Amino acid sequence: MSTTKADERNADQIAYWNGAGGRHWASRQEHQDIVLAPILTAALARAAIRPGERVVDIGCGCGASAIALGRLVAPAGRVLGLDVSGPMLARAAERLPPELPVELVQGDATTYAFAPGNFDLLFSRFGVMFFAEPARSFANLRRALRPGGRLAFACWRAPRENPWMMLPLQAAYEHVPRLPQLGPEDPGPFSFADPARLERILGQAGFTAIALEPFDLALDIATGKGLDAAVNAALEIGATSRAIDGQPPAVLAAVAQSIRKALAPHQQGGGVPLAGAVWLVTASGGE
Ligand SMILES: C[S@@+](CC[C@H](N)C(=O)[O-])C[C@H]1O[C@@H](n2cnc3c(N)ncnc32)[C@H](O)[C@@H]1O
C-alpha cells in the first residue's frame, strides 16, 4: 500500500479486493477485458483525452484502462493507476508495456495523498462505486485536478437493467441464500445506479457540470466461446460468485445447472448476449 493510511470504513472492500474478488478478477482478466471493452471505448471517447495529459485511473484493477490511457497520453503524458487490490495490480504490472508512461500504485482513493492540482483528468471504468464515504473520496480525488480538470467514469445503472449480472444471480438463488440486502448508501457495484444520489455526491465533492449519459449494450459473457464459458463467467465474477462463496461441490453443481438453464434461451451461436446498462459520467473539477 502507499504510505497514506486507507480509510478504515473501506476495510471490508479492501479485504474483498485483496481476497476472493481480486483473485477472481486477476485470473479472468482477459475474459473480463473482452466483455467490458465496449464500455472502456465509450468512456474513453467521453473523456476526450489529448496526448501529454496527466491522468489518474481510479480503481485501475488489472490494467486495461491504464494501458489504454497510457497509449493515448504517451509519450509526454502520465497515468497514475491507483488501486487497493494487490492481486489485480500484480496482474496489471505483468502486462504493462514498459515503454508506456504508467505508474501503478497500491492505495485507497479516499485518502491517497495526491500532489494537489497535478492532473488533467480523473478516469475510471467501474472503480469508483466501492467507497464507504464517496463524497469524501471524490473530494480527495478532485484535489488532484488542476483548475478546469475533468472527471469521466463508467458505473452500472440499476440491477433490473443489468440482466447480464442478475439473471445468473437469480438462478443461483434457487440453491443458496440471498446476499444481504444493501442499503441505499452502501458501497457495491450498483451504488451509483440512482442518478440523484450520484449527482448529490459529486456536487458535495465540489464537481460542476455533472452529466450522466445512459449507455446500453449487449454484454456477451461467453466471449463467443459458448454456453459453458458463459456459465463459468457467471460463477466466477460479480454478485453470483459472492453468493456461492464457500458452498459445497454438490450445491455448486446445482447452481451451475440452473444458470445453464437460465442462460440457454439467450445463446446465439457461440455468444450469450445479455443486456447491460451503464452511466457514462462526466464533470468538471479542480480548485
Ligand atoms: C469492478 S473492479 C474494476 C476494475 C477495473 N477498473 C476494470 O474495469 O477492469 C473495481 C476496482 O476498484 C478497486 N477499488 C475498490 N475500492 C477502492 C478504493 N477505495 N481505492 C482504489 N481502488 C479501489 C478494486 O480493487 C477493483 O480493482
Going by pLDDT thresholds of 50, 70 and 90, the confidence category of residue 45 is very high
User: Does the beta carbon of 138 sit less than 6 angstroms from any atom of ligand 1?
Assistant: no
Which pLDDT tens digit goes with each residue over 79-112? 999 999 999 999 999 999 999 999 999 999 999 9
Going by pLDDT thresholds of 50, 70 and 90, the confidence category of residue 7 is confident
Average pLDDT, the chain: 96
How is residue 76 written as a grid cell? Answer: 509526454
Residue 238 has pLDDT above 90, yes or no: no
What is the model's pLDDT at position 250?
Answer: 97
Question: Sign of dihedral through CA atoms 217, 162, 28, 281?
Answer: positive
Residue 119 has pLDDT above 90, yes or no: yes
- Round to whole Å and give the CA distance between 5 and 126: 23
Which pLDDT tens digit goes with each residue over 249-284? 999 999 999 999 999 999 999 999 999 999 999 999
User: Does the beta carbon of 109 sit less than 6 angstroms from any atom of ligand 1?
Assistant: yes
User: Does the beta carbon of 61 sit less than 6 angstroms from any atom of ligand 1?
Assistant: yes
Which pLDDT tens digit goes with each residue over 124-170? 999 999 999 999 999 999 999 999 999 999 999 999 999 999 999 99
Alpha carbon of 109 to ligand 1 centroid (Å): 10
What is the model's pLDDT at position 79?
Answer: 98
Q: Using alpha carbons only, give the angle 122, 123, 129 rounded to the nearest 5 degrees.
A: 105
Q: Tell the residue nearest (CA) to atom 18 of ligand 1.
A: 108
Order the strands of the 119-125 sheet from edge to edge. Answer: 102-106, 78-83, 54-58, 119-125, 145-156, 273-285, 208-220
User: Does the beta carbon of 126 sit less than 6 angstroms from any atom of ligand 1?
Assistant: yes
Inter-CA distances, 127 with 62, 81, 184, Å: 11, 11, 18
Site to probe by mutation for ligand 1, drawn from 55, 57, 84 as the one with most ligand atoms within 8 Å of Cβ, is: 84
Residue 286 has pLDDT above 70, yes or no: no
User: Does the beta carbon of 241 sit less than 6 angstroms from any atom of ligand 1?
Assistant: no
Kindly list the domain boundaries of the chain, sorted by start residue: 8-159+183-217+278-285
Alpha carbon of 248 to ligand 1 centroid (Å): 29
User: Does the beta carbon of 120 sit less than 6 angstroms from any atom of ligand 1?
Assistant: no
User: Does the beta carbon of 110 sit less than 6 angstroms from any atom of ligand 1?
Assistant: yes
The CATH classification of domain 8-159+183-217+278-285, taken from the options 3.40.50.150, 2.60.40.10, 1.20.1260.10, 3.30.930.10: 3.40.50.150
User: Does the beta carbon of 57 sit less than 6 angstroms from any atom of ligand 1?
Assistant: no
User: Does the beta carbon of 104 sit less than 6 angstroms from any atom of ligand 1?
Assistant: no
- Round to whole Å and give the CA distance between 240 and 237: 7
Atom of ligand 1 nearest to the CA of 88: 27
Residue 68 has pLDDT above 80, yes or no: yes
What is the model's pLDDT at position 26?
Answer: 96
